[in-house]
Amino acid sequence: MGKTDKNPKKSSRYAGAGCDAFTLVEIMVVVAIVGVLASIGIPSFAKARNQSRISRYLNDIRQAIDYIELYAMENGSYPPDKMPRQAPDGLHEYVKRFDWNADTPLGGKWDWDFQSVGITAGVTVIGATASLADLLQVDQKIDDGNLVTGRFRRTGAGGYTYVVAD
């Protein structure tokens, strides 16, 4: 009797190739699908990350303002002005989780301003690297959507202040 070939690989389109492999067309289709998925997902991820930065800033600024207002109520005035990245004197007892030395979520440095930058008291971000659109979005959530007026204002080159007292 003759030999019968029971190997299905030899009867496939890869007969004689000796190994299983993807064709170039199959690989290109997979790469195209991954590219389409990435082009859909990456902008959404970037937008979510940006919204997270803005939310974190809003949370941080609210914490700082709460601590400063508590200090002012108990001490009769706001703490004296400090250099950037330095907590106001006497505020250490009130601040539990706010790090004045850390970079802000908007980029730049935290700064406490008392009787400077044209206001009585405020928390400033010096050297913010956030886009103007991001800062306007912050202003809309805090205030009036105008960086010239209201509680959240532009105060100089790369500086933005949340005004505690005018």
What pLDDT, on the 0 to 100 scale, is given for residue 109? 93
The parts of the chain modelled with pLDDT lower than 70 are 1-19, 96, 157
What pLDDT, on the 0 to 100 scale, is given for residue 32? 94
Q: Which residues pair with 111 in a beta bridge?
A: 124
| Cα 69 from Cα 75, distance rounded (Å) | 10
Find, among 110, 120, 108, 117, the residue nearest to 80 by Cα.
Answer: 120
Using a cut of 0.95, tell me whether the model's pTM lies above it: no
Domains, the chain: 24-165 (3.30.700)
**Distance (Å) of CA 30 to CA 21, 34, 44, 56, 102:** 14, 6, 22, 38, 43
